[in-house]
Amino acid sequence: MDFETIKSRAKEYCDRESDAAFRKQVEELLAKDDRKELEDRFYRDLEFGTGGLRGLIGGGFNRMNTFVVRRATQGLASYLKKAKPGAKLSAVIAYDSRHYSDVFALEAALVFAGNGIKAYLFSSLRPTPELSYAVRQLKADTGIVVTASHNPPAYNGYKAYWDDGAQVIPPHDVGIIEEVNAVVEIGTIPEAQALAKGLLVRIDKDIDDKYQAMVRGRLFRPELIKKMGKDLKVVYTPLHGTGAMHVEAVLGGLGLEVTTVPEQRKPDGDFPTVSFPNPEEPAALKLALDLGKKLGADVVMATDPDADRLGIAMPDGKGGFILVTGNQLGSLLADYVLLSLTEFGRMPKKPATVRSIVTTDLQRRIAEAYGATSFECLTGFKWIADLARRFETDGSGYEFVYGTEESYGYLVETEVRDKDGISAAAMTAEMTLYWRSKGKSLLDRLNELYVQHGYYEEIGISKYFEGSSGGAIIAGIMARLRTDSPKTLGGVRVVRIRDIDALVSWDPARPEKKERVDLPTSNVLQFYLEDGSIVSARPSGTEPKIKFYASCRNETKGDLEGAKKRVKAELANIDRDLKAILDAR
């Protein structure tokens, strides 16, 4: 795109942007003729992808701002009217602690109102899982949560939900994107007018109370918590996000001793105590771990800003803490849910657990040990939610009991159709108490699972490629992986390749014999190694980066520490080869 076109787009944006601050940013760039910054803000429109929007906050078509949010909401409103002609439509909107989240949420509500769609807007910040819950409770047709999840402070985003409380999937996602791209005029009305017409309704405590009651109601052993809960010390951090209200209310209401990290309790879009407000990052839990050591905590917990993810650390028995990966906690929760359903005689005839294709295979082995079927789906919790919905209507007889993905997402209930860090925190507290009642720690139980099923460990590698050329670089890496696939990884032969974009898998020694893959299409490549290890490659759906995942397994054979060493050595070799692929881009 030539610079004159860039400047023309910048001037068009200034004419259409109602927010003076965002408009002024671009006007100043035009006055300075700042080529580099203008190109970055206008070489493309911020893409409304299959999950919504996410980007840097600022003026421009390639930024998160008032105009971009209004245009996206207009597209969603237009699609709703076409998908449900003649219906009396409604939407629910929530937002987190990020900069401009409250502004963007109100702007979205007023666009819905301007299109005759009733907007239920939370009166203050709320977590993503409560938004999903509210869509179902209020029988709304769509939902929006304004959040950039665990991204750095400069980002914000916008996730769209359908009437089942799950993020939109085909065909709705494609239809919404087409409508967003076709927007010419945006319908909106003033806040006072929307309130007077009943098209803007504030919601809060009624949904809060029901949501918290649901979370408590999904626990298995309230009597155990009542008996032993006062002896369990929980240190918790919401990482300056939305989680404190519900985590404190639910866990504290159960009688558990919860201490929230004081420096991180208050919502703050600057996230001043962390580089990344991400419970996957060890540095983000430093204050919580320090407090946990000081207080002798039994478990340390952290939720991300919109409280859909949960990270934990458990005592190592030596006065310190071990950070638990998403795969490890997901496996512990799968084991606990299935064990509890079995003990209480509540296991369905055809229980189903769901995991993403890059989540540890340990969870499949755990599920099968309890007589459950473990289904796999694409990365993204909307696909887990989709299977949960389909089980209810497809006549297969399967009943959803648990869903998880490696990126710290867990679902232990059916009332929410997205990952839920609040309910996962409550279930994790109960699980910790349960194993204590058996004379064991979470670490003890995790090691028992490894002895039973084999030792599993995973690594992830991510590489960012920013700017207008980033997408082409990532596409080039994926193309080369397809046309010149590695014969070995970590010194181990590749015996099967699965291309989920082409929906086929094959043995590299017999490439002419391809088998069909029963999944929706997605730009993912998976390499299955001779020793059972799996390596996956996929571009991120929300950030300008490519991600590799590697999972290795080794039989313990009475020597768990030996199995851990063997797996770590293999992962180091795979890590070396993957970095070489990236360096040769």
What is the rounded CA–CA span in Å between residue 330 and residue 407? 10
For 103, residues 6+ apart whose C-beta sits below 8 A from its C-beta are 19, 66
Element (H, E) at 554: strand 545-554
For residue 235, the cross-strand partners are 259, 300
Nearest CA to 328 out of 403, 441, 406 is that of 406
What is the rounded CA–CA span in Å between residue 207 and residue 193? 25
Query: For tokens 């914000």, what's the residue?
Result: 156
For residue 143, the cross-strand partners are 92, 161
Burial class (CB in 10 A: 0-12, 13-18, 19+), 156: buried
Please give, one letter per residue, the 3-state secondary structure of 191-234.
HHHHHHCCCEEEECHHHHHHHHHHHHHCCCCHHHHHHHHHHCEE
Supply 484's token pair.
Answer: 């010149």
3-state secondary structure of 539: strand
Beta strands in 5-72 (DSSP E): 52-56
Estimate the crossing angle of helix 442-453 against helix 560-583, to 10 degrees. Answer: 80
Query: For tokens 């089980």, what's the residue?
Result: 391
Supply 276's token pair.
Answer: 């990344």
DSSP assignment of 22-33: HHHHHHHHHHHT
CB hemisphere CA count around 431 (13 angstroms): 28
Q: Are 307 and 315 in contact (CB under 8 A)?
A: no
Q: Are 57 and 99 in contact (CB under 8 A)?
A: yes
**For the stretch 458-492, what's the b/e string if a residue is b when 16 or more beta carbons lie within 10 angstroms of its beta carbon?**
bbbbebebeeeebeebbeebbeebeeeebeebbeb
Backbone phi, then psi, for 235, in 5-degree steps? -105, 130
Supply 189's token pair.
Answer: 């009305």
Q: Are 57 and 103 in contact (CB under 8 A)?
A: no
What is the rounded CA–CA span in Å between residue 471 and residue 465? 7
**Beta-carbon count within 10 A of 56 CB:** 18
Estimate the crossing angle of helix 442-453 against helix 326-343, to 10 degrees. Answer: 90
Query: For tokens 């890059």, what's the residue?
Result: 358
Positions marked catalytic: 149
What is the rounded CA–CA span in Å between residue 426 and residue 336? 13
Supply 272's token pair.
Answer: 């001043």
For 497, residues 6+ apart whose C-beta sits below 8 A from its C-beta are 485, 505, 506, 508, 525, 526, 527, 528
